[in-house]
Structure 1
């Protein structure tokens, strides 16, 4: 069962990520470690999937989550973050843009989201589903 929550939900679609630099595990860890300064999540855990066309990583916490998908072939980065605590979405967007050296980005904000499951298998399935949705949303229709 999905849990719904009210708070700040940010989805940033980033473009122009250098495939040579990419979104390395160290780069993602540095970004995730800095999250509490601008996007409070509370205590939680981190999970990463390395895939053929990039990677996905999630940091979950009592107050929300931060989910990052990198598509290396296209140079796309999708950051999906939610917090029930106070956060500054404009500051978060600027930090993401600088951390991953984006050439441009599109930003969407809402006031609600869902929380991710606790179990590792369920979490992996949810992250892969969100990655598939992000890729489908960004792929141009022909």
Structure 2
């Protein structure tokens, strides 16, 4: 899947309205399962928002190995009462992320109950690291 995401990024970079500027990644839950390996492998990704994911199940070994090589700034979101990913496996994943600039935001609530202000904070985090899109 990493090769597919890289090919997509290559194609996007050729679009005149995208260009070759800075690139960030935003993906929660399944977006982190697919995205974390891509972000870890792709040096053009300079910042990431990930989360709603823990070290469990068949993806555990891959995610743990990739997280150990993930060095771009990361904002990681966790829902304290997440019914899909219990607290400790989520914290375990956050702990192995290698980035010296990683932040964990925890909010009360279920997996799909991320508050709107947390989405805005994730946009602010990306803009801080990438610069304005205008």
Same fold (TM over 0.5): no
TM-score category by the smaller chain? 0.3 to 0.5
TM-score normalized by the length of structure 2 = 0.33
Larger CA Rg, structure 1 vs 2:
2
TM-score normalized by the length of structure 1 = 0.32
